[in-house]
A and B are shown apart, each in its own frame.
Chain A
Amino acid sequence: MKIYKYGDNVDTDVIIPARHLNNPDPKALASHCMEDIDETFASTVEHGDIVVAGANFGCGSSREHAPLALKSCGVKCVIAKSFARIFYRNSINIGFPILECPEAAEAIAPGDAVSVDFQTGVIIDETSGKTFQAAPFPAFVDGIIEAGGLLHSLKARGVAK
């Protein structure tokens, strides 16, 4: 696995530029993911890689195409100092794991080997030997993720038909 590390305020326009929104096929979105801040991302990213970023990750446009593009690239999760709120809820709703952990986001370096336990929120930087604790999701949110996303959880409850 590899770490891709970015700074603060990575907006959804750079995660997936609007010029590519006319084709919402996840594979098409993945092929342009991050291209406006990192030309090599889409061609080098592999299943299980992790994106580490600063504050306010995913700010700007509400486009769900952004977490979809990252998920479709095979990105395992995003670890950030903080997330913009629409990106946060979009990620939960589509079952894409995100972890809010300022300490880990600061300390993890590109090239580090990192493992993540989504159940406990424990992040281990195996290269530096440091362990971090991300803020756990509330039970309500865990329920959405466990059901495989918001629509499935609403169907399971019988409120969506």
Chain B
Amino acid sequence: MGMTMTQKILARHAGLASVEAGQLIEARLDLVLGNDITAPVAITEFDKAGLTQIFDKDKIAIVLDHSVPCKDIKSAQLCAQARAFAQRFDITHFYDVGQMGVEHALIPEKGLAAPGEVIIGADSHTCTYGALGAFSTGVGSTDMAAGMATGLAWFKVPSAIRVTLTGKLPPYVSGKDVVLHLIGLIGVDGALYKSLEFAGEGVAELAMDDRFTIANMAIEAGAKNGIFPVDDQTRDYLRGRVDRPWEAVEPDADAVYDQEVVIDLSALQPTVALPHLPSNTKTVDEVAGLPIQQVVIGSCTNGRLKDLQEAADILRGRKVAKGVRCIVLPATQQIMMDAMAQGLVQIFIEAGCAVSTPTCGPCLGGHMGVLSNGERAVSTTNRNFVGRMGPTDSEIILASPAVAAASAVAGCIADPAKL
């Protein structure tokens, strides 16, 4: 029986000729990742278990991104714990304030993810690197500790849903609209325990930044991972970033899928997810006019250069509406510099936005944009759960950078095409 992309990658990393869905395997890891919230728990467990060795100092990445620059004393103590561990083991890829970025934008940018690799991260959005044809998946802190110690992780081999993309995205429609549409179709547990494998001629029409956004939110459909085939755009992205050998993996022609979903990109409209689930999707015209108090443009989902360009295109020469706070968070230092070089930061500031150093802060209601009671935000982040960005009566509407920027200008949910 043929294997999916994911199954082939897992088989190779388990030293097996083939694997099948449901099989439990132990796979070799190419990268183990953690952040300032999850790594400290992993380090505590590592120490508690009496472990004293790591498997490879070049294959562990610790990125301080969630609560930094530190929002309070306790967060500073967690960062200090992670910093001390990185120093103790001379961890090569440790990123502190000044070098750090939102981890899932930073790791690909630094060339730490490549096609065919197996990556675990103690952060659910680790699935982002599937955009590069890697198997990458979110795990918890104990898995991170085990991965750091052994370079191994256990997996149940997933079956897959094939998502076939056709056509080409219309103006003002981007990867975020594709993935929100998909989650709306299959639901927040529609891909539970499974892979989402993207295929079809529409893939070539998606820029790398759109693919990162789509793979990033695979977890919001419950998926173990989301994965794209490798093409010329992927190779262009990897050039100059990854100098170790890598191998693109294609699914077998006779790979078996549980389900096929076909999405015609040409037919998509700007799409939003209303509170309190990412699957609660509407097209923007169905909910246009809903008043908002805050806009967040950034995160591991939508804090990349193309996202900022799309937001700036809307905000150029316009002003953020009175009564709306618009916070823009370029996801890495490099993205910030590129945005400055392209004049995007100037556009944002002239429009009345606050532009921040990289942080996950507002996405999880940590800092840099927490909501008050009854407030509603349009956010390019990935979750709109109860209490995610503020009190339980605050609301998050998930949207693309273009919709978020248009909404910031209008003071309510707005269609960027009709501004």
Q: B-contacting residues of A (Cβ < 8 Å)?
A: 9, 11, 13-14, 17-19, 21-24, 36-37, 55-56, 59-65, 67-68, 82, 84-86, 89-90, 93-94, 138, 140-141, 144, 149-152, 154-155, 159-161
Contact = CB atoms under 8 A, between A and B. Distances in A.
Contacts of B38: 62-64
Max chain B C-beta neighbours (<10 A), residue from A36, A59, A152: A59
B385 A150 contact: no
Contacts of A24: 40-41, 44, 78
B146 A151 contact: yes
Contact of B45 (A14, A18, A151): A151
B140 A149 contact: no
Contact of B75 (A22, A82, A151, A160): A22
28 contacts: A9-B189, A11-B386, A13-B388, A18-B364, A21-B66, A22-B74, A37-B386, A56-B188, A56-B222, A63-B37, A64-B142, A67-B140, A68-B41, A85-B193, A86-B219, A89-B143, A93-B140, A93-B142, A140-B154, A150-B154, A151-B149, A154-B149, A154-B150, A154-B152, A159-B149, A160-B49, A160-B149, A161-B53
B365 interface: yes
Contacts, number: 143
B318 to A, nearest CB: 32
B238 interface: no
Given A17-B365, A62-B38, A82-B192, A89 B139 contact: yes
Interface residues of B, number: 54
Contacts of A90: 139-143
B141 A64 contact: yes
B72 interface: yes
A76 to B, nearest CB: 20
A130 to B, nearest CB: 25
Given A61-B383, A62-B122, A85-B222, 12 more contacts: A14-B387, A18-B37, A60-B385, A62-B123, A84-B189, A85-B192, A86-B139, A89-B140, A151-B149, A159-B150, A160-B51, A161-B53
Contact of A151 (B145, B383, B385, B388): B145
Given A140-B154, A160-B150, A59 B138 contact: no
A154 B146 contact: yes
B317 interface: no
Nearest to A55: B189
A53 B14 CA distance: 35
A62 B154 contact: no
Interface string B124-148: 1010000000000011111101100
A103 B338 CA distance: 54
B146 A84 contact: no
A151 B142 contact: yes
A13 B392 CA distance: 11
Nearest to A95: B142
B41 A13 contact: no
Interface string B176-202: 000000000000110011000000000
B149 A65 contact: no
Nearest to A159: B150
B98 interface: no
Interface centre among A23, A67, A89 (most CB of B within 10 A): A89
A89 B24 CA distance: 12
A90 B145 CA distance: 12
A36 to B, nearest CB: 4
B46 interface: yes
B145 A62 contact: no
Contacts of B251: none
A57 to B, nearest CB: 10
A141 B386 CA distance: 32
A93 B188 CA distance: 24
Nearest to B122: A62
A13 B383 contact: yes
B107 interface: no
A159 B150 CA distance: 6
B240 interface: no
A154 B224 CA distance: 23
Contacts of A149: 142
B369 to A, nearest CB: 13
B150 A63 contact: no
B299 interface: no
Nearest to B124: A62
A47 to B, nearest CB: 22
Nearest to B46: A151
B50 interface: yes
Contacts of B75: 22
Interface in B27-51: 37-38, 40-41, 44-46, 48-51
B138 A160 contact: no
B37 to A, nearest CB: 5
B67 A17 contact: no
B277 interface: yes
Contact of A61 (B24, B124, B146): B124
